[in-house]
A and B are shown apart, each in its own frame.
Chain A
Amino acid sequence: MKNQFGMVRILGQATTECLIFFPLLYIPFSFMGSDIGDILIVASIVLAGYITGWMADKYMKLNTLFKAASMAIIFSVSMSLLIWGLSLQTAAAGLFWFIAFYRGVRMGQEHWFSLFPGRDYLIGLIIYAVSSFILQYMPEFEPYSNGLTWLGAAALIVTLLQLNRRHVEDSTLPGSEPPALEKRVRHQNQGMIWFLITCIALLVLLPVLRNGAEQVWNSMVTWMSGLIDRSPVQEDDMVPPNLQEMTPMLPIEEEPPPPPAWLVWLENMVKYIVYIAMGGAVLFLLYYIFTKMPSWFSALSAWLNRLRSRQSPLTEAGAYEDEVERIKPARMGKHRKRRSVLRKKSEDDGMEHDLKTLIRMWYRSLLERKIREGYVLQKHLTPRETADDLESKDQTKAEPIPEELVEYYEQARYGNKELDPRTMKEIQKALKTR
């Protein structure tokens, strides 16, 4: 089981390396006249070379350069001669198979991240870019250009995902230990990378998308016109002119007269109204989806977050627990301002009650802040004694709790005296500056 998993891992790594440096394989064989099938055979044997090298290292302990190189030569030469005999393809393929076998051996001895660092991805992408730019001017390469484009796109996707993963793992500063990363962090970063890839795709395919959108719109308009437009067919148009001349005068009634102008006008009006209504319905549907999508997305995201938190190895180890929740974005539009003004007006009736509640809330929040900073609350002390105790313990601040606040708090809590709103505002200003 372990060996199978290791083989799958090596295959994945080998596929990534082959994809990133595929132009180096693809282009020479294209110029040698090989068809796509031959190129795919070469690529498959390159992948097999990686796995063969890894297995050779596992069972034969190829722990020196001489051993590894010797086995690689034997493998590459024998496979090349077997498939192509003595030819130019043999030389090219042999080189690639040698490299593949040797790298397979090294993958069993070292971590792949050190064997294939981030700069190799960038080198591969540069090769894709330069080669595709140059080769577009060579007509003999035209049949292969699509393949290079698609493979370049795939290499870009793999590069972005790998670079992101390595960068995030390095950012955890693991030191000499293997990095430990929460699954949620990994998945969220992957999601952002896919969003980035989507943006790149939209930007690249913008002209194509525009043409496609125009075609879709034209076809919709034609279809809607076809549904509604039922104007009577002119017999003159249907009957060919020769036949029209040859038709004898039959004893039939005269054709019905054309409809009156006002009816035609009414028909056109209804047609336009239906067009507008259908367009408006489509727009409303899009608007509804657009406004609801964030809440659907946030619900999905919250569910995924809960799922990932439960599955995280770090939380499973009991190191910490995470609670993830959504925050409502603050939206201050005109109607909210209006609502806040209305609320203020209705609060004037109970203003006195609110001032007392407000002063008690301020005192309590200030005291809670001091407790979080390390102050041990002594419940037997009065508010003034508490303020004095705070001042004696924290000599960095002149008045940890302002005297006016203590006085008003005592009045609000224990007394019936009315509170002055102007003094309340001054206390509020003083608290904000703390």
Chain B
Amino acid sequence: MGAYWILLMAVVIVQLQAILFRRFALKRLHYSRTFDVSACYEGDRFELVETIENRKPLPVPWLRVESQFRSGIQFKGQLNLDISEGQFNQNHKSFFSLMPWTKIVRKHHVTAARRGIYRLGTVSVTSGDLVGISTVVESLPLEGHLTIYPDPVDVTDMELPVQTWMGDMIVQRWIVPDPFHLSGVREYREGDSLKDIHWKASARSGEIQVHRKEATADSRLMIYLNVEDHEHMWNRATKPETIEYGIRLAAGISIHLLSQGQVVGFGSNATMDEHISLSPFVPPAAGMSQQTAIMEVLAALELSRSVSFHDYMESELRNLEVDYDMLVVTSYMNDKLERVIDRFRQDGHRVQIHLLDESGVRKEASA
């Protein structure tokens, strides 16, 4: 028995293992991938969870899972082996080795760097034998996506007419009192509710005193965002940071007002992510669900226009039926827009314009 006999048997065994792994490596292999949250804000951390199960008595010597993500999410501890990042997309690879009847749950630590809709898409699964004779590849379609909301700007210190929008302007023509706005005390009259009694004032004066309520304005605010970063923009914004600031500003304003119980809506002339069936218009409403709806639209906005902002506002002029407060967030103003805005004012809407300039962007970047 010489070395040739040993090597001949080795060739037989190695070929057998190549056939075995080529045929059965990807059989009874279950792979799934999810994000541990369905939505989050820019800067938040979350996990991408991969689960792979080998439900057979044959081990899998190596398994490579490749996929592509948009480049707005950052994987922690990125090695060049795992991630190759481009401007718009990045390739992600995971490498496994599975013993028989084994399940591996791998959690990648990820940071949401940029707003948007991130889909799981299709993954390519590759495996092979021990020495590189055979390789087998399979594609697995996956469903699921993650929505990253824009990081809202803190508007409390900004010079915006928030007071008006919060309904603190007293209007004499209304006859229905606002139960949340108290402007003093008065003497008790028949018909006043007992819960309106001001006990301390009553004790001081010796007579029953009740809270006096004022009537306030019932306002609805529509925020309109113009994604054109200059007057003659063709299709896509060339200064994306300015428009992104506008998106974050819209997010900050809507969150602030909705948290105060106000009615807020949103509209834009931007296009939306191609896989999303939403339109860039959210009718005015109040509550947490409205905040979610606006955030989803802001997350899915693309920085390209569907129509010019002037045409868009003209169509809105025809659609708006009741009086609105309007905030127009835009990078520029011209005569056409001025004329459209004037027509809104003539129809009874109150319009405020916020110009997105670079100083705001720089200030926000330095904050």
Q: Which residues of A contact B (CB under 8 A)?
A: 118, 125, 128-133, 135-136, 145, 148-149, 151-153, 156, 160, 163-164, 166-168, 170-175, 177, 179-182, 184-185, 188-189, 192-193, 196, 199-200, 203-204, 298, 301, 314, 317-330, 371-376, 378, 380, 393-395
B97 near A318: Cβ-Cβ < 8 Å: no
| B109 partner, pick from A131, A133, A320, A327, beta carbons under 8 A | A320
| With A172-B64, A318-B76, A327-B54 already in contact, 6 other A-B pairs whose C-beta atoms are closer than 8 Å | A156-B10, A174-B81, A324-B103, A326-B101, A374-B38, A380-B289
A376 near B39: Cβ-Cβ < 8 Å: yes
State the interface size on chain B (CB cutoff 8 A): 64
> Chain A nearest CB: distance from B10 CB in Å?
5
Per DSSP, chain B at the interface is mixed
> Chain A nearest CB: distance from B116 CB in Å?
13
> Chain B nearest CB: distance from A327 CB in Å?
5
Q: Which residue of B lies closest to A320 (CB)?
A: B108
B103 near A325: Cβ-Cβ < 8 Å: yes
Q: How far is the CA of A318 from the CA of B1 in the complex (A)?
A: 52
**Total inter-chain residue pairs, C-beta < 8 Å:** 192
Chain A residues contacting B93 (CB-CB under 8 Å) are: 172-173
B77 near A376: Cβ-Cβ < 8 Å: no
Chain B residues contacting A320 (CB-CB under 8 Å) are: 77, 106-109
Q: Which residue of B lies closest to A329 (CB)?
A: B101
Per DSSP, chain A at the interface is helix
Chain B residues contacting A199 (CB-CB under 8 Å) are: 13
A192 near B102: Cβ-Cβ < 8 Å: no
Q: How far is the CA of A193 from the CA of B82 in the complex (A)?
A: 26
B146 near A172: Cβ-Cβ < 8 Å: no
Take A125-B7, A149-B3 as given contacts and tell me if A326 and B102 are in contact as well, using a CB distance cutoff of 8 Å.
yes
Q: How far is the CA of A284 from the CA of B367 in the complex (A)?
A: 76
Q: How far is the CA of A156 from the CA of B12 in the complex (A)?
A: 13
B81 near A180: Cβ-Cβ < 8 Å: yes
> Chain B nearest CB: distance from A203 CB in Å?
5
A203 near B9: Cβ-Cβ < 8 Å: yes
Q: How far is the CA of A323 from the CA of B54 in the complex (A)?
A: 14
Residue of B9, B12, B34, B55 contacting most chain A CB atoms (<10 Å): B9
Interface hit among B124-132, B186-194, B225-233, B307-315: B124-132
B81 near A152: Cβ-Cβ < 8 Å: no
| A374 partner, pick from B78, B104, B147, beta carbons under 8 A | B147
| B38 partner, pick from A153, A185, A375, beta carbons under 8 A | A375
Take A182-B95, A301-B99, A317-B79 as given contacts and tell me if A136 and B13 are in contact as well, using a CB distance cutoff of 8 Å.
no
Question: Does B62 interact with chain A (Cβ within 8 Å)?
Answer: yes
A167 near B79: Cβ-Cβ < 8 Å: no
List 20 A-B pairs, Cβ < 8 Å: A133-B2, A133-B4, A135-B2, A166-B132, A167-B128, A168-B61, A171-B95, A171-B128, A185-B62, A188-B61, A192-B59, A200-B9, A203-B9, A319-B77, A324-B103, A327-B54, A327-B101, A371-B38, A380-B289, A393-B277
Q: How far is the CA of A426 from the CA of B211 in the complex (A)?
A: 62
Chain A residues contacting B360 (CB-CB under 8 Å) are: none
User: Which residues in window 83-123 of B have CB below 8 A to A?
Assistant: 84, 93, 95-97, 99, 101-109
A129 near B289: Cβ-Cβ < 8 Å: no
> Chain B nearest CB: distance from A242 CB in Å?
53
Question: Does B353 interact with chain A (Cβ within 8 Å)?
Answer: no
